[in-house]
């Protein structure tokens, strides 16, 4: 029986929290077409890695400026590095490369199936047996992926199929990191953990990019520099600050469901800015995927 006062539950959903959540979702959603465009001017690993490193430094400044500590106990570094690899390095590298072959809108839909994979991973790692809603969530998410692939007549190129696989692996790695962090939590403030994970995860991505990719910063256009600033400041700093601020004002379930708006903004913004397709296939896939994600976050 739920003995919680309904009025107290309602009071927790502060309007300021919803505004902060909206800023987070819009910021992360718009970053998909931004990243897709930047790939026409810079290689993926260099671009994703270096913007993340600068973004993590900005986050650290925010952490220190807010009176929090960046100190990490010696015993927690291995766990922190593992989560940085799963949550950031895999995401940044795989998503960046995948966007070379995939439309940004479709990639964002596939990427944000992560709550579905997290709900499945919770069984072997956390001992949470899958409920009927979780099974339905998986079916809906799988249906959305099938619609995306079927929209190409199941005759997509090898590169595009590889792109889908990369996005799925990146999404699965993020989900694994999220579930492991529940099983083996880090005793760090959320902003401190985020700042270190972004930095530690993006550092190897950027270094590999510098070593194997050819970048010409002189060829970056004025628009490209503005978009790099957006990807650095807004994606890694502003959106993280508003996300954690929203979490302090909203129930976790509301915040989790609110992030399902990210692929919506990604799909719509990509259609407007990059003239990507937004037809029956994309809308149907988006509805199925979002329905699965919402069910997964409610179980």
pLDDT at residue number 288: 82
pLDDT computed for residue 3 by the predictor: 41
Query: Number of C-alpha atoms within 13 angstroms, CB side, residue 170?
Result: 25
Q: Within 10 A of 8 (CB to CB), how many other CB atoms are there? A: 8
pLDDT digits (tens, 9 = 90+) for 218-257: 889 999 999 999 999 999 899 989 988 888 887 766 777 7
Q: For the chain, how far is it from start to end, CA to CA, in angstroms?
A: 17
pLDDT in the model for residue 292:
79
* 184-209 tens-digit pLDDT: 999 999 999 999 999 999 999 999 99
The mean pLDDT value of the chain amounts to 86
The pLDDT tens digits for 108-122 are 988 988 888 888 888
Q: pLDDT at position 153, please? A: 54
Q: CA separation (Å) from 293 to 54, 133, 192, 253?
A: 31, 11, 27, 12
Handedness of CA 185, 189, 194, 199 (dihedral sign): negative
Stretch 163-180: mean pLDDT: 93
Query: Is the pLDDT reported for residue 1 higher than 70?
Result: no
What token pair was written down for 14?
Answer: 């502060």
pLDDT at 60 over 70: yes
* pLDDT at residue 10 in the model: 43
Which of 294 and 22 is assigned the larger pLDDT?
A: 22
Radius of gyration for the chain, computed over Cα atoms and rounded to the nearest angstrom: 19
Q: Reply yes or no on whether the pLDDT at 129 is more than 90.
A: no
> In the predicted model, is pLDDT for residue 142 greater than 50?
yes
Q: What is the pLDDT of residue 168?
A: 93
80-102 per-position pLDDT tens digit? 999 999 999 999 999 999 999 99
């Amino acid at each position: 029986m739920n003995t919680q006062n309904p009025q107290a539950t309602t009071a927790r959903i502060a309007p300021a929290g919803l505004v902060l959540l909206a800023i987070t979702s819009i910021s992360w959603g718009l970053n998909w077409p931004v990243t897709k465009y930047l790939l026409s001017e810079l290689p993926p690993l260099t671009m994703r890695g270096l913007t993340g490193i600068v973004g993590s430094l900005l986050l650290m400044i925010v952490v220190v400026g807010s009176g929090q500590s960046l100190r990490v106990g010696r015993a927690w570094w291995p766990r922190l590095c593992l989560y940085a690899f799963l949550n950031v390095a895999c995401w940044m590298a795989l998503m960046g490369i995948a966007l070379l072959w995939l439309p940004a809108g479709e990639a964002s839909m596939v990427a944000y199936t992560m709550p579905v994979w997290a709900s499945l991973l919770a069984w072997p790692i956390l001992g949470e047996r899958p409920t009927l809603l979780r099974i339905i969530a998986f079916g809906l998410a799988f249906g959305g992926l099938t619609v995306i692939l079927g929209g190409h007549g199941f005759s997509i190129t090898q590169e595009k199929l590889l792109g889908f696989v990369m996005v799925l692996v990146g999404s699965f790695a993020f989900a694994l990191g999220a579930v492991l962090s529940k099983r083996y939590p880090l005793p760090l403030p959320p902003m401190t953990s985020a700042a270190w994970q972004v930095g530690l995860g993006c550092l190897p991505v950027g270094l590999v990019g510098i070593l194997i990719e050819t970048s010409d910063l002189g060829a970056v256009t004025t628009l490209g520099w503005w978009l790099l600033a957006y990807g650095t400041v807004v994606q890694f700093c502003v959106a993280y600050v508003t996300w954690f601020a929203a979490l302090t004002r909203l129930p976790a379930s509301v915040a989790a469901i609110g992030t399902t708006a990210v692929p919506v903004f990604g799909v719509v913004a990509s259609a407007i800015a990059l003239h990507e397709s937004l037809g029956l296939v994309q809308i149907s896939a988006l509805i199925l995927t979002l329905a699965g994600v919402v069910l997964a976050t409610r179980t």
